Structure formats: structure tokens, C-alpha cells
């Protein structure tokens, strides 16, 4: 049975950082562009400010995408709110993004430990438990988040779990181990493996599916690569180039815009 977050026709199109090929990453402009195209899934990053606000921002420091410098978590939200990404765009609150589009689902990459304790209250206030998938490159952050969430939330596989999928040889002799791993993942609310293209081989997709996991591939911005991973059976593609992915899916008859969207 599909968890609510993944209860959507396959393949799923994710707007990575809102669709960073068309507007500054993780900005209102990027997210709004993807929404206008009909995207039902937005991917973003979450970091904490010094005074406990959860904002959509990827890097540990401000240097790359703003004209400020130093770690974001050294600033209060008031100070962060005064900054501009690429000189024009404010840094959104995660809570404001979730509340802005009640029919849209959010893939949230937890980038720091302080932000983890802030997420449960954000989900309580927005009642977005079924509209969020929590992911991280850190298994420790994922375990901590799982322990703090007071309702089940879709989780992406940790790096260790992904390694387990890659090592699963898939022979009949291994089925007891496969069943054990699948049971563990289900108890941990892990329902998807979000991996780079180098990991998403046909064999990996088959093994993940045998464990009951969807496979979401990131970050794919080339048309030919999009087609290749869709042909391999990927359940979702994350892209900065939301225009191209939408075009590819329309051409394949696989574009599934959010309910109420005016797009084809």
C-alpha cells in the first residue's frame, strides 16, 4: 500500500530546489514557476536560524548564493530575512512554503541537527504530516528526526540502507535477509531510496522495488538522461530543469500534474 506522500501516479516529477534552472534556488520565484507548470512535488532544503526558525536554504554558509558570508545558523531569522538570494529573492520559511500550497507535497532535506527539532512543530501547525518526505545524507539526522516526530512521516532511505540495497544480490538464497530488511524499512517508515544517477542502475531499481522502495533519481537535468532513467523504471526524477522534465513526461504520456492544475 502506498503511503499518502507517494500516493500519486508514477513517475513523480520533483522540482529540485524549486527548479533552480529557471529562478534562484529555493526561492519563492522558483517554487511558483514549478507550481504554474503543474508540479505536485517540490524538493527543498531545511536549515535552522540562530533563533529557531526553519528556512529553505541549501548551503551551510551564505557565501555562494547571497552577498553575505559566514554560517547561516549564526544569524537570527530577522537577519536572514533581510538577505537576498542572487541579489533579488528572500529566503523562505519552510512553514510558509508548506502553507502556501495545501495540495503540494514537499521533499525536505534536513541539512543540520538544529533544524530537526523544529520540523515537528512546523508539521503540527501546517498539518502536513502526509505531504512531507524527510530525507538527509546523514543517517543520524534521519534517526533523530524519526524519534522526534509524533506521527508517521514518509522517510527516505539512509546512506546505510542504500548500501544495503546495493549489496542485496537478489538470489533466492537471500530472500530471508531481503524480507528482514524490507520489514525493518517499513517499521522505520522508509518508503523510497533517493539516489544519484550513478547509483540508479537497472539492478538497483529492481532490488529497491523488491524491498518495497520507490526509486527517485537526482539531480537529472539532461533530456537524454531523464529518458534513460525513466526507461530503467525510476519512480521519480528530481531536476533543476523543470521545463524539460515536464516536456519529456508529456511526450511520453507520463505527465501527472497536481489536481486542479491547468497544465496539460
264 residues of the chain, pLDDT tens digit each:
679 999 999 999 999 999 999 999 999 999 999 999 999 999 999 999 999 999 999 999 999 999 999 999 999 999 999 999 999 999 999 999 999 999 999 999 999 999 999 999 999 999 999 999 999 999 999 999 999 999 999 999 999 999 988 886 554 445 567 778 888 899 999 999 999 999 999 999 999 998 999 999 999 999 999 999 999 999 999 999 999 999 999 999 999 999 766 555
In a domain, 263, yes or no: no
CATH classification of the domain holding 90: 3.20.20.190
Residue 39: name the closest of 192, 226, 190, 259 by CA: 259
Domain around 73: 10-251
**Active-site residue, selected from the candidate residues 8, 16, 33, 216:** 16
261 beta partners: none
Residue 33: active-site member: no
Please indicate whether residue 16 is annotated as part of the active site: yes
Number of domains in the chain: 1
Tell me how far apart the alpha carbons of residues 173 and 231 are, in angstroms, rounded to a whole number.
Answer: 29
Cα separation, 166 vs 182, whole angstroms = 14
Question: Is 259 inside a domain boundary?
Answer: no
In three-state secondary structure terms, 252 is: coil
Domain membership of residue 258 (yes or no) is no
58 inside domain: yes
Q: Does residue 212 form part of some domain? A: yes
CA within 13 Å, CB half, 8: 23
C-alpha distances in angstroms, 122 versus 31, 98, 190, 232? Answer: 19, 9, 21, 36
Catalytic residue among 8, 22, 33, 58: 58
Amino acid at each position: 500500500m502506498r503511503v499518502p506522500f507517494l500516493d500519486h501516479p508514477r513517475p513523480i516529477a520533483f522540482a529540485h530546489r524549486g527548479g533552480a534552472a529557471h529562478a534562484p534556488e529555493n526561492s519563492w520565484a522558483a517554487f511558483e514557476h514549478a507550481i504554474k507548470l503543474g508540479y505536485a512535488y517540490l524538493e527543498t532544503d531545511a536549515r535552522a536560524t540562530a533563533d529557531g526558525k526553519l528556512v529553505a536554504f541549501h548551503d551551510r554558509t551564505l557565501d555562494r548564493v547571497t552577498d553575505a558570508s559566514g554560517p547561516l545558523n549564526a544569524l537570527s531569522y530577522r537577519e536572514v530575512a533581510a538577505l537576498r538570494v542572487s541579489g533579488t529573492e528572500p529566503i523562505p520559511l519552510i512553514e510558509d512554503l508548506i502553507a502556501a500550497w495545501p495540495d503540494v507535497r514537499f521533499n525536505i532535506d534536513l541539512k543540520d541537527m538544529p533544524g530537526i527539532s523544529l520540523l515537528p512543530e512546523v508539521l503540527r501547525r501546517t498539518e502536513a504530516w502526509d505531504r512531507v518526505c524527510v530525507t538527509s545524507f546523514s543517517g543520524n539526522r534521519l534517526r533523530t528526526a524519526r524519534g522526534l516526530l509524533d506521527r508517521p512521516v514518509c522517510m527516505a532511505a539512509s546512506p546505510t540502507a542504500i548500501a544495503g540495497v546495493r549489496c542485496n544480490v537478489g538470489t533466492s538464497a537471500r530472500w530471508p535477509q531481503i524480507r528482514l530488511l524490507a520489514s525493518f524499512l517499513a517499521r522505520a517508515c522508509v518508503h523510497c531510496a533517493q539516489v544519484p544517477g550513478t547509483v540508479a542502475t537497472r539492478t538497483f531499481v529492481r532490488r529497491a522495488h523488491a524491498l518495497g522502495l520507490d526509486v527517485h533519481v537526482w539531480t537529472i537535468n539532461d533530456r537524454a538522461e531523464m529518458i534513460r532513467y525513466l526507461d530503467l523504471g525510476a519512480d521519480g526524477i528530481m531536476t533543476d530543469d523543470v521545463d524539460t522534465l515536464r516536456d519529456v513526461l508529456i511526450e511520453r504520456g507520463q505527465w501527472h500534474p497536481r489536481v486542479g492544475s491547468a497544465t496539460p
